[in-house]
Amino acid sequence: MGLNSFKVLGASWAAHKLLQQVAPQCLTTASAGNFGRAVAWVARQNGIESVIYLPADTTPSVVQAIEREGAQVVLVAGPYDEAVAQCAADANRYGGGRGVLADIGYDDYRTVPAWVQDGYTTIGIEVAEVLGGDIPDVVVVPGGVGGLASAVARVYSDRARIVVVEPSEADCLMSSARSPGGVPTPTRGTLRTRMAGLNCRNPCLVAWPVLRAGVDFFVAVDDESAEAAMARLFRPVDPDPSIEAGASGAASLAALMALSTPPFTADRAWLGLDRGARVLLIMTEGATDPLPLASVVSPR
């Protein structure tokens, strides 16, 4: 669909379900970029308006891409979670005129995020069809609030080890896994990371129970690791094709590279990551913002 990100799979299905039940004049969501553009695209396809809430530090090229889909962009003076709160508050103020199409579940808002995750299962189902009977031993998927990871876990958790990767400064899923009782827990990180699509303080309340039951291993990587993975994808070993990935998309390869280092020897053995292992990496975005990729792969 020309959006260079997986997010439209969830946004389009959730919008389809929502529009069967209500007739909002506008679709609205909070986003770090990719989901907002997807919702704006879906709204335009349905001939309705869209309002997208973004963190104030969103790069101008990402803002412009969303505006080109016909959306009104509202920059919120805070991180993604504050954009979520502002989006919900404004939608309540406008009443039924705005349909909130969010991919994170919170408080009494859980039905739509569940639809979003249903849409994301498309990825796992299509990959399974392509692979046929060749089931991977390990699947590595980026975390964020956990929507995609939970969708992948629903497809593969009974057949493969599931590894979820997050930024080290936005590791809300790992924090939740480590918490007493394994309850949803915010990250203690600074929320300063170039993996913008994974920069989330809190897990999705709809996704977390699936992740808690179905994920085998959580790993956090820093920005330098993500950039090394971006460079490796862009300049692979022949005859592999060159892939232009964003930092969030490259996180899966960054996790595999990290797991291949000595500190993870015992974990690697437990996961079955030996030379014969078949590993599926889910890459969630291309170079949606070309400037970071250029800075990583340009000769120094």
Domains of the chain, each with CATH number or no CATH: 7-102 (3.40.50.1100), 119-297 (3.40.50.1100)
Say which amino acid occupies 71: A
pLDDT for residue 1: 86
pLDDT at 265 over 80: yes
pLDDT for residue 77: 94
Give the confidence band of 300 by pLDDT, cuts at 50, 70, 90: low
pLDDT at 2 over 90: no
pLDDT tens by residue, 141-157:
999 999 999 999 999 99
